[in-house]
Structure 1
Amino acid sequence: MGPYRIEARLGAGGMGQVFLGRSRSGRAVAVKVVHPELAADADFRRRFAREIALARTVSGFFTAGVVDADPEGRPPWLATAYVPGLSLEEAVAEHGPWHERDVLVLGAGLAEALESIHAVGVVHRDLKPSNVLLAADGPRVIDFGVSVAVEGVRLTRTGMAVGTPGFISPEQLTGAVVGPASDVFCLGAVLAFTATGTGPFGGGSWQGLWYRTVHEEPELAALPPRLRDLVGRCLDKRPEARPTATALLDELAGNVTDGGTLADLYIDSRWLPAPVAQVVRTLLITPV
């Protein structure tokens, strides 16, 4: 695909399939190939090109940045930095919920990622456990900068917003203005999931999740008090009442760094729960 040799299939999502690719110099990348139905849509191609241009300007450490793309390709594709780690969704499913401090350390990295994404005018719109990869040196947020392109097609064809039920803001569901505060709402839902193993609006049908997200308060009783307060503020129904990513980063860093820096925490997978850290270390030494 372009200059990259495809070596393996990594997975699939709403936009298309994801493959492990290799550059001519041997660098591993994640190559996302657009689904044929989307690729055939001229409006999608225009949005995709615009969002890729914005996404290229994101340079935060806790993001898997865009390194190459061809929005006019047949099919269109983009390549991002390859992260040798498992997803947060997989980690919680396989090893259970995390302790409070581990969740707070994760939250600090994700808040810094959102800060860098928002700084260049990008809104992720679909931050969820499967879009958070756990690497030895910190979390990585993936799939930012392409949701708007998919959203335009989905709204036209189905009337549904982009996002994952249970991890999507009320304003995305009601058609209100979507901005950085929507990502903060999603972050709150991700942290609640990490601490409990379930989303803050329960499970079941997407219709039920939709209703509870818009009209009911989240279920946070199982969270420790400090985390409950932070997540509750992120999940405020009113976008203007939610903290910014920068404010969250300042608060979380103050809670977990003990006078040091965030960089001190993300060393050799020690920031992760022990069972998850062991898996990540194994992935690091497995050739790709």
Structure 2
Amino acid sequence: MTHPAEVFQPLQDDDPRTVAGYRLAARLGAGGMGRVYLSHTPGGRPVALKVVRSELADDPAFRRRFGREIRAARTVKGAYTAELIDADPDGTPPWLATVYVPGPSLTEAVARRGPLPVPAVLWLTAGVAEALQVIHGAGIVHRDLKPSNVLLAADGPRVIDFGIALAADATAHTATGAVIGTPQFMAPEQATGDEVTAATDVFALGQTAAFAALGEPLYGEGSSAGVLYRIVHSRPDLSRLPEQLRPLIARCLAAEPEERVTPAEVVEWCRRELGRDADAGAGPAVWREVAGPEAAVPPPAPEPSPDPTAVRTRPLIAPRGPAAPGPAGPQGPSVPRGPEERRTRRRRFALGAAAALAAGGLLLAAAWTL
């Protein structure tokens, strides 16, 4: 069980305090790509900042692919996605920042309260399918859609990390036979290393919906090899699912990609099953119940305090006020202290100017004579 307050973990000794000018306030989690931190924009808006692991950052192929995926992800702006707002694929290390979503992941929500009721699963599936429409419309395949990449805000789900798994396909560790993604939520063609398309995400959507309804992965737990074997060579057992959900999830989990439903068809099917609730605004009430109490977001990290032992490199500003009388020194000429002294200085300046003009005239006359 994950308590809302446990969403924000304190920074550890090996965590950076700033990344590209973003001051880190807490740790949100970690995954195969790197660590995720809570930070804030200059205006105070919370963001989730992901810092890429050094092993990936050292791979030039990863950086090139990561840069391409970031450029594509900038175009994704949907109601059910976490918008990318800043990134630097060439940074040391590479990083990206998305809008922070105040809510637990689907994994955390199920661990806290158990399987979701059928209406909540329908709302969830429709929202994630709508997110996939936007993501696929930008030319991106998520490739790692799973419960931990679906966050449950009070107004509906948000899909995160879209397209990022593709960048890791070019790294050295994929050449050893490892497959990018999470085994329990892969499609058969992904597990066998065949072409990955938008239909691959639909298979993962069916598995994610089944997880929400069952409280556990549809293809079971165990070793990665065993789970992948079942996904590739066996049909899923849908008898444990609520009867209302079985037709849709069966269409999502078709073995052949071309036989699967599209995200648009998923949205239409879910709205039809929800009936009047789909148009009556019942979704927010469902999400408030599922997401649970919202955790208070920590404030922005304070500016680092100056080191009192540091050597000053800039001169101190002299205090304002009348300067002591005396000749001009390193701090500039002294300030006149009264009207009589000011008049004396003006007379001296005038005499000096006249002498300079006279000397200039003599020089000009000599030059003319020559």
TM-score tier (shorter): over 0.9
Structure 1 consecutive aligned stretches of length 4 or more whose deviation exceeds 3 Å:
154-157, 259-262, 285-288
Give, in whole Å, the separation in 1 of the partners of 2:97 and 2:287. Answer: 27
2:8 aligns to what? none
Give, in whole Å, the separation in 1 of the partners of 2:36 and 2:291. Answer: 24
C-alpha deviations, 1:149-171, integer Å up to 9, x for none?
Answer: 01221664422221111101000
Question: What letter matches 1:33 in structure 2?
Answer: V
- 1:1-288 matches, within 5 Å, as 1-153=19-171, 156-258=174-276, 260-261=278-279, 264-267=281-284, 270-272=285-287, 274=289, 276-279=290-293, 282-283=294-295, 287-288=298-299
- The alignment of Structure 1 onto Structure 2 pairs a total of residues equal to 281
State the 1:226 CA deviation: 2.2
* Secondary structure, aligned partner of 2:25: strand
Distance 1:54 1:215, change over 3 A: same
Give, in whole Å, the separation in 2 of the partners of 1:3 and 1:155. Answer: 31
Give, in whole Å, the separation in 2 of the partners of 1:4 and 1:50. Answer: 23
State the 1:286 CA deviation: 5.0
Structure 1, 178-187 or 142-151: larger mean CA deviation: 142-151
Do the aligned partners of 1:155 and 1:161 also contact (CA within 8 Å) in 2? no
Distance 1:45 1:286, change over 3 A: closer
Distance 1:193 1:156, change over 3 A: closer
State the 1:265 CA deviation: 3.7
Give, in whole Å, the separation in 1 of the partners of 2:147 and 2:86. Answer: 25
Do the aligned partners of 1:3 and 1:24 also contact (CA within 8 Å) in 2? no
Give, in whole Å, the separation in 2 of the partners of 1:156 and 1:13. Answer: 16
Give, in whole Å, the separation in 2 of the partners of 1:138 and 1:35. Answer: 30
TM-score, normalized by length of structure 1?
0.93
* Secondary structure, aligned partner of 1:143: coil
C-alpha deviations, 1:40-94, integer Å up to 9, x for none?
Answer: 0000000000000001111111000110000000001000010010010011112
Give, in whole Å, the separation in 2 of the partners of 1:25 and 1:273. Answer: 27
Give, in whole Å, the separation in 1 of the partners of 2:288 and 2:154. Answer: 11
Question: What letter matches 2:49 in structure 1?
Answer: V
* Secondary structure, aligned partner of 2:287: coil
* Secondary structure, aligned partner of 2:44: coil
* Secondary structure, aligned partner of 1:139: strand
Question: What letter matches 1:201 in structure 2?
Answer: Y
- Whichever of the two has the greater Rg, that structure is 2
Which gives a bigger RCO, structure 1 or 2 (Cα 8 Å, sep 6+)?
1
* Secondary structure, aligned partner of 2:204: helix
Question: What letter matches 1:222 in structure 2?
Answer: R
Question: What letter matches 1:238 in structure 2?
Answer: E
Give, in whole Å, the separation in 2 of the partners of 1:273 and 1:171. Answer: 36
* Secondary structure, aligned partner of 1:271: helix
Give, in whole Å, the separation in 1 of the partners of 2:166 and 2:153. Answer: 26
* Secondary structure, aligned partner of 1:221: coil
C-alpha deviations, 1:174-224, integer Å up to 9, x for none?
Answer: 111110000000000011111011111111111110100000011211112
Determine what percentage of the aligned residue pairs are the same residue. Answer: 52
* Secondary structure, aligned partner of 1:86: coil
Do the aligned partners of 2:145 and 2:201 also contact (CA within 8 Å) in 1? yes
Structure 2, gaps ≥5 residues long: 1-18, 300-370
Give, in whole Å, the separation in 1 of the partners of 2:172 and 2:273. Answer: 40
Give, in whole Å, the separation in 2 of the partners of 1:146 and 1:121. Answer: 13
* Secondary structure, aligned partner of 2:26: strand
